[in-house]
Amino acid sequence: MSRHAHSRARAAPDPRMWPLYAAGFTTAFGAHAVAANLGAFSDDAVQSLMTLGVLLALYDGAEVLLKPVFGILADRIGARPVLIAGLVGFSLASATYAVADQPGWLWAARLGQGAAASAFSPSASALVARLNPAARHGRVFGSYGFYKSIGYTLGPLLGGVLVWFGGLRMLFVVMAVGSLAVAAWSAIAVPTVPPLPRTRQTLVDLARRLSDPGFVRPTAALAGATAALSVGVGFLPVTGAAAGLGTVVTGAAVSVLAATGALVQPKAGRALDERRITVGGGLTAGLLLAAGGLACAAVGGLGGVLAAAVLIGAGTGLITPLGFAALAATTSPARLGQTMGTAELGRELGDAGGPLLVAAVATAVTLAIGYAALAVVLAAGPVVVLGMAWGRRRRDSRDEPVRTKEERHA
């Protein structure tokens, strides 16, 4: 086989990965397609703002509570059955509202969707790591993140089309059929990955592992990236409207943010595998890019909004595959489900905490100061890490024994 043919064969997509990428798309699409269209103009649209807020919180609340639990279950019985059961559960939860078509059942359906996503999302991440060697983790997590970003990007658009065509019921029908199809695909294409033997873990052991810098740093970076992304999606349209920009322009800016993140993730993962970047350098650069984007948002205007979209998208796209690859590299394969579930919990907290911080500061002062506050939080981590590294190098150089001229030339 020629070198080029060998390279093409080596780069061929792994068919086992496609159902996992589809699972990532499913959870992202399910979150944003419904969230963006609950208040849409249709016969079954939600009219009360309080009801809308609680329905939005049900999905994320279930994920915050249950992702670590299902991650531990995936380690205990295997990630594949938890993945498939979660996808089937998502289909059944969606079908609940599609069949009943009653407002009361929307609550149960949304809660069930969040619980089911809590099962198959960390299981898919764990399988991405288990089915690939460490040398390919950056690449495969980049691809996984790419398809999740596509789900986030297309969810509001395709969901809006479906709601316009047949109301919320049509959207839930499509989600029920789609998630069931992904479950069947996973049952056929994803191999059985048996759980690995694990040593007994006490609460002290768990606390020690979750407080280890190898877990805390990438998880904190992932939470920061998600916070910046959530703020960008939610508040950039507000900044654009204040500058007199129309909904088409502000919507395009949010699309630029999502598209930039989707395009950067595979490239960042590939660069990590090829050792052109390091995890520490990439996470630091990603946080500083996201902080710079928030600073541009504080400036406002068309240029500030577009620059913020590009920088926040690039920062989050850089952090996501590197963060998950770092977690996989520092975790025992027997504990991958627990680690991924807990890291996803960190992302959910960032998803909620970022907008809350910006909103609280904006209410007290201005939105520009709110952006600046989150930018300072994101930039503080890299600055502290760089300062500690510089201080450590200075200390090591001072402690190094002074050699004589004869020893230096020996």
Domains of the chain by start residue, with CATH = 14-189 (1.20.1250.20), 212-397 (1.20.1250.20)
C-beta of residue 265 within 8 angstroms of C-beta of residue 153: no
Q: What would the pLDDT profile of 128-138 be if each residue is shown by its tens digit? A: 988 988 888 88
Sign of CA dihedral 28, 248, 56, 317: positive
Helical H segments across 190-278, by residue range: 203-210, 213-242, 247-273
Tokens of 349: 């907290």
Give pLDDT < 70 ranges for the chain.
1-13, 36-57, 196-211, 383-410
C-beta of residue 58 within 8 angstroms of C-beta of residue 181: no
Burial 94-125 (b: 16+ CB within 10 A, else e): bbbbbeeeeeebbeebbbbbbbbbbbbbbbbb
d(CA 92, CA 60): 18
Question: In a 3-state reduction of DSSP, which class is residue 274?
Answer: coil
Distances (CA, A) of 380 to 284, 372, 376, 386: 10, 12, 6, 10
Angle between helices 213-242 and 336-364 (to 10 degrees): 40
d(CA 405, CA 398): 18
C-beta of residue 113 within 8 angstroms of C-beta of residue 94: yes
Torsion of CA 337, 339, 341, 342, to 10 degrees: 160
| pTM attached to this predicted model | 0.75
What is the structure's pLDDT at 181?
97
What is the structure's pLDDT at 242?
86
Tokens of 373: 């506050």
Give the number of other Cβ atoms within 10 Å of residue 197's Cβ.
Answer: 6
Quote the DSSP letter at residue 277: S
Give the number of other Cβ atoms within 10 Å of residue 299's Cβ.
Answer: 14
Q: What would the pLDDT profile of 320-360 be if each residue is shown by its tens digit? A: 989 988 888 877 777 777 778 777 778 878 877 888 888 88
What is the structure's pLDDT at 1?
41
